[in-house]
Chain A
């Protein structure tokens, strides 16, 4: 557990970056610091491993005040991922990852072994191991940065905008990988971001800071969305928080999934019309995985790959109502495609049924994920 006790940081030029911050980051959980630029997120993070000394107050790691600890030893307990990765340009990827393990006194061979394993855990192929940092994309560098922080198996992790340097698609991918990893390793993590969506998605607990370094609210994502402490938090969490809240409601219980007729590629349009519910027919591959929709009103002859409308998103039954709603909204047929864990078609849901499910979930006080 990481505890902030009345921590204040006033820089030499008089700027108060963090103002009387008190906060607990529970063991094995992800705590997110979020807030507008300049609100003191990075400063708060760096005070934990004393890259910056607090002006007053104290920070405790598992009950021990950090100011009483040896600086190098304190830092070796804490994995730190800085923005833009900060990799060592003169070491290849595996050597970079191994550095933290080496600092902890692990023998070279063993450290390199750990590094290779971690490379795969963060979703990079082993062949990346002997590349140098300049031979990697920004997103790949950030993964190596995360792997390096993990290599010493630290009790705590501090991450400063670790997924910022990448496009939304890769970012989403990195976030998913990160959540999967955390389910295995269960570290005590504090992560900084200024992306509220990222905060709500990754955080077990989210601390919203306002300019001047004042803590506005610290709560679970669900609580933040349904019960913002003040208008600043409400604004920051966003206008579409009603919609976002659906991310935290399970679809499984309340949803009526219908059977959806399907055809394979190559089927004649005339034959497809016979099974179709309306002008739209869903095309699947041999493994019954959905490929896309075809508009039979505009179709003659066999259905080809180029005829597919790919605009619909897929949702899984154990996904949130937000994803199911999105699937229904994005499907040209108005029927959201539901798949199982193996991406195999489970059926479809009508938009009106999703709305009904949302209504009943709301009426029942949002029974769903904690």
Chain B
């Protein structure tokens, strides 16, 4: 490790880190907001459900680099626009979370739903006060997978020039210099652990009602 180089680049590295956080987190938040109603619709869709989930799952198989390159054509954005990365990651996260939300809602016991119906909950109240809170453990587990995989996928965006920690890898490769590469890896892992713990803590806060093993 060349610490003199590190000291000189600290501003850039800080900048890369901030971008990396934004590019990993924003798509998760957007996807979550979208996945809740979509997951609910998929759950309601009866016999269409396997087909819908299959289609959503297919999105995940599109290579990320291809998506980064194709999106400007679809969205009419510049190739270097970070919006491309945000949209691409939102698509991936959505693919993951729709299934998660759907599974979470399905895990709610039918006794509980029936009790809610019998008590006279209307549909929307039942969803927000009963079904969604009970789906939180499953959704939380899905979110943890989503944030961690986003942190790693974001670095690929360095190949199309979006600034973030992945830029340290390309830089290291060009300069034949290991310090930026190590720095990038350490910061990526640290960020992944941090975000994962954050999701875990929030999930725990919301699921105090669950037995802790």
**What residues of chain A have their CB less than 8 Å away from a CB belonging to chain B?**
49, 51, 71-76, 78, 80, 82, 84-92, 99-100, 103, 132, 134-135, 148
Taking the closest CB of chain B, its distance from the CB of A370, in whole angstroms, is: 33
Determine whether the beta carbon of A75 is less than 8 Å from that of B117. yes
Q: Which residues of A contact B134 (CB under 8 A)?
A: 88-90
17 contacts between A and B (CB under 8 A): A71-B120, A73-B120, A75-B118, A75-B120, A78-B118, A84-B111, A88-B115, A89-B134, A90-B134, A99-B119, A103-B120, A103-B121, A132-B209, A132-B210, A132-B211, A134-B210, A134-B211
> Given A88-B130, A90-B134, are A72 and B120 also a contact pair (CB < 8 Å)?
yes
Determine whether the beta carbon of A76 is less than 8 Å from that of B120. yes
Rounded to whole angstroms, the CA-CA distance of A90 and B203 in the bound complex is: 13
Q: Which partner residue on chain A sits nearest B119 by CB separation? A: A100
Sorted nearest first, the 8 A-B pairs with minimum C-beta distance are: A86-B115, A75-B120, A76-B120, A80-B118, A86-B111, A72-B120, A90-B209, A90-B133
Q: Which residues of B contact A91 (CB under 8 A)?
A: 209
B2 at the interface (CB under 8 A from A): no
Taking the closest CB of chain B, its distance from the CB of A120, in whole angstroms, is: 22
Determine whether the beta carbon of A86 is less than 8 Å from that of B112. yes
Q: Which partner residue on chain B sits nearest A151 by CB separation? A: B119
In which size bucket is the chain B interface?
A: 10 to 19
Out of A72, A74, A89, which one reaches B121, CB within 8 Å?
A72
Q: Which residues of A contact B205 (CB under 8 A)?
A: none
Which of B109, B115, B209 has the most chain A CB atoms closer than 10 A to its own CB? B115
> How many contacting A-B pairs (Cβ < 8 A)?
63
Determine whether the beta carbon of B120 is less than 8 Å from that of A82. no
Q: Which residues of B contact A73 (CB under 8 A)?
A: 120
**What residues of chain B have their CB less than 8 Å away from a CB belonging to chain A?**
109, 111-112, 114-122, 130, 133-134, 207, 209-211
Rounded to whole angstroms, the CA-CA distance of A49 and B120 in the bound complex is: 9
Determine whether the beta carbon of A82 is less than 8 Å from that of B211. no
Taking the closest CB of chain A, its distance from the CB of B81, in whole angstroms, is: 42
Rounded to whole angstroms, the CA-CA distance of A82 and B109 in the bound complex is: 13
Out of A71, A86, A92, which one reaches B114, CB within 8 Å?
A86
Determine whether the beta carbon of A92 is less than 8 Å from that of B115. no
Q: Which residues of A contact B211 (CB under 8 A)?
A: 132, 134-135
> Given A89-B209, A91-B209, are A82 and B121 also a contact pair (CB < 8 Å)?
no
Q: Contacts A49-B118, A80-B115, A89-B112 known; list 4 others, CB within 8 Å.
A: A75-B118, A86-B109, A90-B133, A135-B211
Determine whether the beta carbon of A72 is less than 8 Å from that of B115. no
Q: Which residues of B contact A85 (CB under 8 A)?
A: 111, 115
Q: Which residues of A contact B116 (CB under 8 A)?
A: 88
Determine whether the beta carbon of B118 is less than 8 Å from that of A51. yes
Q: Which residues of B contact A78 (CB under 8 A)?
A: 118
Rounded to whole angstroms, the CA-CA distance of A100 and B120 in the bound complex is: 8
Q: Which partner residue on chain B sits nearest A91 by CB separation? A: B209
Rounded to whole angstroms, the CA-CA distance of A86 and B117 in the bound complex is: 11
Q: Which partner residue on chain A sits nearest B134 by CB separation? A: A90
> Given A89-B134, A89-B209, A134-B211, are A72 and B114 also a contact pair (CB < 8 Å)?
no
Q: Which residues of B contact A74 (CB under 8 A)?
A: 120
Determine whether the beta carbon of B209 is less than 8 Å from that of A76. no
Determine whether the beta carbon of B119 is less than 8 Å from that of A82. no
Q: Which residues of B contact A72 (CB under 8 A)?
A: 120-122
Determine whether the beta carbon of A92 is less than 8 Å from that of B120. no
Q: Which partner residue on chain B sits nearest A99 by CB separation? A: B119
Q: Which residues of B contact A100 (CB under 8 A)?
A: 119
Rounded to whole angstroms, the CA-CA distance of A74 and B130 in the bound complex is: 20
Q: Which partner residue on chain A sits nearest B125 by CB separation? A: A103
Q: Which partner residue on chain B sits nearest A73 by CB separation? A: B120
Q: Which residues of B contact A90 (CB under 8 A)?
A: 130, 133-134, 207, 209
Q: Which residues of B contact A148 (CB under 8 A)?
A: 119
Which of B116, B118, B210 has the most chain A CB atoms closer than 10 A to its own CB? B118
Q: Which residues of A contact B122 (CB under 8 A)?
A: 72
Taking the closest CB of chain A, its distance from the CB of B120, in whole angstroms, is: 4
Rounded to whole angstroms, the CA-CA distance of A319 and B188 in the bound complex is: 78
Q: Which residues of A contact B112 (CB under 8 A)?
A: 86-89
Q: Which partner residue on chain B sits nearest A132 by CB separation? A: B209
Determine whether the beta carbon of A82 is less than 8 Å from that of B209. no
Which of B119, B122, B211 has the most chain A CB atoms closer than 10 A to its own CB? B119
Q: Which residues of A contact B209 (CB under 8 A)?
A: 89-92, 132
